[in-house]
Structure 1
Amino acid sequence: MYIAPPGHDSLPAELLKIDDDELFVLGHLHTILVKVWNGGDVPREWKDATIKVLYKKGDRSNCNNYKGISLLFHVGKVPIKIITNRPSAFCEANNILPEEQCGFRSGRSTVDMLFVVCRLQELGRRKKRPLYMCFVDLNKAYDSVDREMLWKVLARAGIPAKLIEVMRQFYDGMRARVRMDDGELSDWFFVTQGVRQGCVNVVQDLLRRGPRGRCHPIQRG
């Protein structure tokens, strides 16, 4: 059985799964989350992360040959999951997402897109027209998200201002520190760019569309 490693608080995830204490723990967690939703501050511990550095391969002096795993406060993962799922539900209920987006949506998967690709190939052959495809894998996509742009795109999509403000609260003042192989810890530093893995999956298409209004055509001649 896989046991998720604890964050800097040393509390295991199993704390939230114990039957005897479930109502007690989740009851207090619900009280805190309601206060946050009503305008209170997000606890500092929910924002902080300890990054464990793992060597992959190659030259050990090259930082690109390492990857970091963020160890988070497990109790804080629950409200973060709840809050970040709200935009998904809102987008689905209000038909905001484009029909061609199948990733990270309930009842849809890559199988739908594979069907579309196969169908396009069939139509291309039938009409004897060339078909071109472009596959893009964004490098460090989550780490490079401009948060201010994210809030603007969400607002433009019609996401309630209250929800955007709560999401912003979870990221304002976010800190991290690095734990080396020998257990030594770095000083805390602020993380001002990027979002956590999976946080904005459902609105990624909106993010790609967001900056288009700022683009200018290339002048020729």
Structure 2
Amino acid sequence: MEDCVDAQLRDQHTGFRKDPLCTDQIPTPRIIVEQSIEWNSSLYINFIDYEKSFDSVDRTTLWKPLRYYGVPQNIVNIIQNSYDGLNCEVVHGGQVTDSFEVKTGVRQGLNIHKGKSKIFRYNTACTNPITIDGEDLEDVKIFAYLGRIIDEHGGSDADVKGRVGNA
């Protein structure tokens, strides 16, 4: 199945494949910050964290794209059977409950985790808060992602100092 999926994903989808890693994308915003400094231009970066994105997948529609992208039917069946019609019983205090169907998350869409989403601004005149559902997103000068640091100076100096300090 991995070969079928990898053939369809763009290089930017690092979190969904074995290589490259999510942290391999860190140089991109660093370069953008460096160029913004060099060109003396304003910069806004919004780091968005989506909460529970795995559980938000509508699994009733998941099987069709798997087939479309060439995942063999027997593999699709195995995955589908692990979700559809799954029944369980609970043993508590020596007593067994009646069987019940397990229904995993089928919420639609992705919810933004407002507590983890951040706003990074450089050389901007506008300092108005950015608000989602009445909650202001935090403005930051330093952003850490998977242990890597992006700051208002660009480059990797802050990241290297941070990792050396943690060693």
Specify which structure has the higher proportion of helix.
1
TM-score normalized with structure 1 length: 0.39
Specify which structure has the higher proportion of strand.
2
TM-score normalized with structure 2 length: 0.49
